[in-house]
Amino acid sequence: MTKQIFLLGYMGVGKSTAGKALASANDIAFYDLDAVIEKGEGASVRAIFKEYGELYFRKKEYDYLQKLIQIPEQKVVALGGGTPCYFNTMNELNDNKLIKTVYLKASVAFLTQRLWPERYQRPMISHLETESLLTEFIGKHIFDRNPFYLKAEHQLQVEGKSIRQIVTEIQNLT
């Protein structure tokens, strides 16, 4: 029996919003990995990147993920956009019989619209000066990350769907 649902996918796809709604619909706990890291470290993801660099963040991200996996309760976890792409994370999640992994997908155009207004909060994209540079970046980045994202047990296209519909579709995944 699956007791833990892990949502992955690119920044801006709505992992946290869908995860929160899914957890509340099932009356189980919800964790947003970024928020867990921020609470544990007493600093924003942006500040951690700025002060210590990305590699340091990735190690912390992995450590907090391991702690989350070990909490023995039913839960939904929204991963960070890059979490699946470092260390042996996807294989470890997929080898864990209690965990179901779901890749939330959307088009580059949709993600650009979502991320452009929020780019300064997000260290991976804050340097991009035009919307078309952001589009180009996202396209390449997803191409690089897809080998990891596509290891998820399930894939779900979220574009044009309500949160309620996304929650129902995740609940219906076998």
Residues forming contacts to ligand S3P in the complex (CB under 6 A) are 11, 15, 34, 45, 80-82, 122-124
Question: Least distance in Å: CB of 81 to ligand S3P?
Answer: 3
Nearer to ligand S3P, 31 or 123 (CB): 123
Nearer to ligand S3P, 1 or 55 (CB): 55
Element (H, E) at 66: helix 54-70
Based on the number of CB atoms within 10 Å of its own CB, is 163 exposed (0-12), middle (13-18) or buried (19 or more)?
A: middle
Nearer to ligand S3P, 1 or 20 (CB): 20
Nearer to ligand S3P, 139 or 172 (CB): 139
Nearer to ligand S3P, 66 or 174 (CB): 66
Number of C-beta neighbours around residue 137 at 10 A: 17
For the chain, the C-alpha Rg in angstroms (whole number) is 15
d(CA 126, CA 33): 20
Question: Least distance in Å: CB of 78 to ligand S3P?
Answer: 7
DSSP β-ladder status, 99-105 and 154-157: parallel
Question: Least distance in Å: CB of 71 to ligand S3P?
Answer: 19
Question: Least distance in Å: CB of 34 to ligand S3P?
Answer: 5
Pick from 162, 158, 161, 171: nearest CA to 12: 158
Question: Least distance in Å: CB of 158 to ligand S3P?
Answer: 13
